[in-house]
Amino acid sequence: MAIRALVFDADGTLYDVQSVRSLATELCGDKGELVTQLRRLKQLEYTWLRGLMRDYQDFWPVTRAALDYALLAAGVTPTPEICEPLMRKYLTLELYPEATAALDALGGYKLAILSNGSPMMLDRLAQASGIADRFTDIISVYRAKSFKPDPACYALIETALDVAREEVLFVSSNGFDVAGAKQFGFEVARIERAAGVPAPTGSAVGPTEFFWLMRGYAEQLGPAADHTVTRLTDLAPLLDRISR
């Protein structure tokens, strides 16, 4: 069955989660890089914990809880002067440089986002980055009251876009998301954001290296991506090959 729709993850796929680092360093000094990486790792961990506990909370307070944890673990007091600017920054994450051109090249398809982000967060991100009009729908897992990789989240796509799962190419850089989408039955393209990052030479690694070791590579769970590309602009040529 032909691909009719492309559905993108947001954070780490369209938006650079590392783009908060300069502000974190400005507010937290030499702890900024550590806070940046801990916050993202904890943010994802808290979605999985809440999913397992069947205690859904909006992604905004989940993000704040992860930030508080990261600051406390790094030895930084989570004051309003630090937390409020950082939380606002999560609403204006920077797009990856090739994102807009990639979306423009895919105009013949239904395009959508499926994200753990709350409706408020996703709306603010899309408006701030100027890409809201590219999408048929911007889908928050809030509609399912769960978090990815719960199959109920991926099931939202079929209803929202009026497509069968076999007609969807799901695009993500996050290994857990790739595994969840593939297990659900989508064709999946993985954006390999860690491509070219060298393996560490020893066990002493910095926060950013540790983040890429934890989140930058394909998960070894079984369900694997059908396609691996390094940039969003690789998707249009990939679809040309698929269609042939």
Q: Which residues are catalytic?
A: 9
Are residues 145 and 168 in contact, defined by beta-carbon separation less than 8 angstroms?
no
Residue 151: both structure tokens together: 């199959």
Question: Measuring CA to CA, how many Å separate 168 from each of 31, 38, 55, 76?
Answer: 41, 33, 29, 44
Which residues have CB under 8 Å from 101's CB, separation 6+? 233
Number of alpha helices (DSSP H) and beta strands (DSSP E) in the chain: 10, 8
Backbone angles phi, psi at 146, to 5 degrees: -155, 180
Query: Please, what sign has the CA dihedral across residues 56, 59, 63, 65?
Result: negative
Rounded to 5°, the CA angle 147-194-90 comes to 45
Backbone angles phi, psi at 14, to 5 degrees: -90, -35
Instruction: Using DSSP, state whether 10 is helix, strand or coil.
Output: coil
Distance CA 42, CA 143 (A): 23
Dump the DSSP string for 201-236: SSS---HHHHHHHHHSS---SS---SEEESSGGGHH
